Structures are given as C-alpha cells and as structure tokens.
Chains A and B, each alone.
Chain A
C-alpha cells in the first residue's frame, strides 16, 4: 500500500426525492489498499458505489477516482476500473474463451493483447483444458476466480468487488481472498463489499455505512478497540443497532 490517494471523496451526496440515500460522506482510499465498504442492506452502499464507478451522477459534493471526476469523466473512470459482482459477472451460455474475447473487446483491447492475456490467464488459473467449456458448466469457485480475472483484463488500477464471495464454499472463499491479497500486493486497489464479517478482518481499512452516512472508518484493529469488541461481527452489530458513531 502507498500513501498516494487513488479515490478521494468529499461531502458526496445523492438525494432521491426527499430521501438522502448517500448523505454527506467523505473518505480516501490509497493505491494498493484493500478497502472494505460495509453496511446494512439499504444503508447506501450500492448508491455510493454506482457514483464511484461512473454509473450515477451525484447530487452534490466532490469525488475523483484515479484522478478522474465522477461528474464529467465517467467514461475515463469506466476504462480505469474493473467491476465484479455475484449478480453480474460472466455470460453463462458463452464459453470461457468467448467471454474473455467479449470483455477484452468491450474494454477496447487489441486482438493480439486479448490472445496473450487469454493464454496467461488460463495458464495461471490452470484452466487451459476448459477454454471451450460453457461458463454454466463450471463449478462456482472456478467461475468466481475467472470472473475476477476477466474484470482485471484491462489492467485496471482499481477493482470494485460487490459481494464477490456470496454463497461460495468456505475453502473457495479463502482461495478467492488469496487472489485479492496478491492483486493488492501487485499494486491494484481493491474496493470490496461483503456480508462475511471474517472477511472484513482481511481488509486494510473498513468503512461502515449507516443510513447514508459513514458511521465508522478505520483498520479492523482500530474499530475493534474503539467499540471494545472481540471481532468485527460485534463491531457491525454495535454500529448498526445503536447507530453509535466513532469519530
């Protein structure tokens, strides 16, 4: 992790009608950091992520992602980031190869580059023999790892992971996190949401959203100390239930 700020958010707001979905949030994420973005359902995580990925224009406030403005430079943001979620990842009725070609094409990579990337990626995942297999026929764990690698095809400087491990078996879940660690170690910034509190411990820093605001922000150790808690589960319950705010 470096001290260079790759995401800067200042007093960001998103208001739908009279509802303040994201209510004045400010934070920074550093290059190479694993940043956990936590909160209860409906706390505003998805809305905030949509603004940071250039899919939704904020109501007010400032934010830059990899130096690009979230109001004016959304297309540049989209080219600089990777995105993966459990709901949206790969096309099940296309083969592994076809998915890589499709996403490589969408990212605007040259055929030569796509070919080289495909070779490297399949080798690294040990999936050379599955290049022509339909995505739907693969075990879930493979799909997740492949989806992650495809989201990294264009060498993004930040990757957004929206509940990447939901429903995955405990062994595969851990293997997935080892990939995350390695990726962060190589300098890519990780912005991740999860409902598994043990995974919150794997992040460098965590923010917790409650009712559109950031109620707590810090390293897992700092948060546990601040809330006098044994683990992140207790921290989460403490914050979400009592709406306690740690400054």
Chain B
C-alpha cells in the first residue's frame, strides 16, 4: 500500500485555481519533498491531506483513509506541523507538550522515547513560556508536539522557511533520524537546495506538478548541456549573453552564470570569443552539472 495517493486533485478558491489536477504517490518510509515557491499550492495540498480542507474534486488517500470522510481516524495516525508557529504562547514548554499528549489520550512518559533527541534539547527550559522561546527552540517544541502521539506519517509545512542555513541543516538532521526509525515524512519547502535531503521530490508551480522523481532523476529532465561562466563583471556579462542570438537560458548562480544554448552542445570557445569581443577579457567557461534549481527554472519557463 502507498502511504499517500493523490489523483487529479483540484482546489478552487472562488475564481482562483490553487491546485490544478495533482497526481502523486508517496511510499511508506520515504522522505517526500514538495518543492516550490510561495503561492504554488503547497499549503493547500498539505491541508487537504491532513483533513483540514476539502478538495474541490479528485481523490486522495492517506494510509488507506480518505481525509474528507475518515478525518477522525486519520488525525490520530498523522502528525502535522503547520507553517506558522501555532502552539500556545502563554503555556510553558511542558504544558504545551502535555496538552498535545492528552488530546491524543497518551502521556509524555509513554512516548518519550520518540522525542527524546529533540525534546531533550529544550527540556532544560520546560518551565519557560512557549512565546519566550527562540526560533530554533520553538521549532523543536512544535516538532515534539507533532510527534508525541506516535504518528505514522509526519506532515511538515515549510518548517525551514526564514531559518538560517545552519539551523536548517540541524532541522534536517532531526528529520533524518526520525525517518531512520521508519517514519514517513511529507515536507514542503521553498528552498531548492533541500531537495537533496529527500528520497523523492515533487516540483510544484502554480498549482501544477512539473515533475516527481528522485532528486538525481529530476535533474535528468534538464535536456541540454549547461555551462558555467565566470569573470569579473558578472552583471555586464549576463546582459551581453542575453543578447547572444543562440542563448537559451542565462541565469546568475552564486559566483557564476549558468548558460544553456538553443543549439544544445556547443564549442565553449565560441562563447568565450563572443564575450571577449564585448570586452569581457578575463571570462572563463566550462561545462557543469545542472542542479534542482536549474531544472526547476527550465521546467518553469517551458510551462509559461
């Protein structure tokens, strides 16, 4: 049995089509990443799968249950960490956790082993009000609360948005540990570089899935050689390359420019000559491997 199945799922808000026919399956024991920018439909999809929102049409099943009909059963077997911190700010750390445990008719003691690694880090502050915690600590408390009833699937809606790169890495380490113990994880993120932390990913943009696969296979969808160009006046070179008659895509990528050509494979010398003729003497160019973000942008522009 698949952990999650979604078939031709639609969600409309008045005139706005937030989800335009989503299809995907998630296997048990997977970390599945839903990757896309704000407004792509990530939260709508998660809220439908967690029984917090009705779909307009289409089918979905989570652990064999229909979120629209079996929501009571479903809620006892899934964990959900919403995008915004939504614990009780004026209760203490421990009170929040006790509350969540008792709502699911369990106790902290009974499932302490599940959250030991995470909750252990904030336990020294258990008498502090949740509202007075730092961002990283709030996140750990929210994750503990989502795990305390021993869910079989954990849904996380943008747990790392606005979080610095170091705290993001630490958060992913926590998710990996939970996953190692067999937990299925469905997580959304706007950060493309987090794709590689997932077993499989779906790229979502404007309510449509542009691809579902392992991160390695997704980048195979980038259908032409990609070149990395560097030099001192990067901005100037980008402007020049955009005017080049064979340019297919020109995107800035950290310290280099990623360039693809509408003829596919090319002699790098031609590009170098072109740039040097424009006055960019010190430029260099070499072939490079496309990443998730390259692929996302290629698929995005192809869809437009």
**Which residues on A are within 8 Å of B, measured CB to CB?**
39-43, 139-140, 163, 166-172, 174, 177-178, 181, 185, 195-198, 201-202, 220-221, 231-233, 236-237, 240-241
Q: Is B111 an interface residue (CB 8 A)?
A: no
Q: How far is B38's CA from A170's CA once the two chains are assembled, in angstroms?
A: 11
A169 and chain B: residue at smallest CB distance:
B37
**Which residues on B are within 8 Å of A, measured CB to CB?**
36-40, 134-136, 161-167, 169, 190-193, 205, 235, 238, 251-255, 293, 296-297, 300-301
- A sample of 16 cross-chain residue pairs with beta-carbon separation below 8 angstroms, ordered by A number, consists of A41-B134, A41-B136, A41-B164, A42-B134, A163-B162, A166-B162, A166-B190, A168-B38, A168-B190, A169-B40, A170-B251, A178-B235, A198-B254, A201-B255, A231-B255, A233-B165
Which residues of the other chain, B, contact A42 by a CB distance below 8 angstroms?
134-136
Scoring A170, A185, A233, A241 by chain B CB atoms within 10 A of each residue's CB, the highest score goes to: A170
Q: How far is B135's CA from A167's CA once the two chains are assembled, in angstroms?
A: 18
Which residues of the other chain, B, contact A240 by a CB distance below 8 angstroms?
164-166
- With A40-B166, A170-B296 already in contact, the answer to whether A220 and B37 are too (CB < 8 A) is no
* Tally of contacts, chain A with chain B, CB under 8 A: 84
Which residues of the other chain, B, contact A196 by a CB distance below 8 angstroms?
191
- With A198-B254, A201-B255 already in contact, the answer to whether A171 and B165 are too (CB < 8 A) is no
Residue in contact with B252 in the complex, picked from A39, A169, A177, CB distance below 8 Å: A177
B300 and chain A: residue at smallest CB distance:
A171
Residue in contact with A169 in the complex, picked from B161, B169, B205, CB distance below 8 Å: B205
A195 touches B254 (CB 8 A): no
B170 and chain A: residue at smallest CB distance:
A241
Q: How far is B301's CA from A85's CA once the two chains are assembled, in angstroms?
A: 27
B162 and chain A: residue at smallest CB distance:
A166
B135 touches A170 (CB 8 A): no
Residue in contact with B167 in the complex, picked from A41, A198, A233, CB distance below 8 Å: A41
Which residues of the other chain, B, contact A39 by a CB distance below 8 angstroms?
164
Which residues of the other chain, A, contact B36 by a CB distance below 8 angstroms?
169
B36 and chain A: residue at smallest CB distance:
A169
With A41-B136, A236-B166, A237-B166 already in contact, 6 other A-B pairs whose C-beta atoms are closer than 8 Å: A140-B38, A166-B161, A170-B293, A170-B296, A195-B164, A237-B169
Which residues of the other chain, A, contact B165 by a CB distance below 8 angstroms?
195, 197, 233, 236-237, 240
A140 touches B164 (CB 8 A): no
Q: How far is B242's CA from A178's CA once the two chains are assembled, in angstroms?
A: 13
Q: How far is the CB of B191 from chain A (nearest CB, A)?
A: 8
A168 touches B37 (CB 8 A): yes
B251 touches A40 (CB 8 A): no
B134 and chain A: residue at smallest CB distance:
A42
A166 and chain B: residue at smallest CB distance:
B162
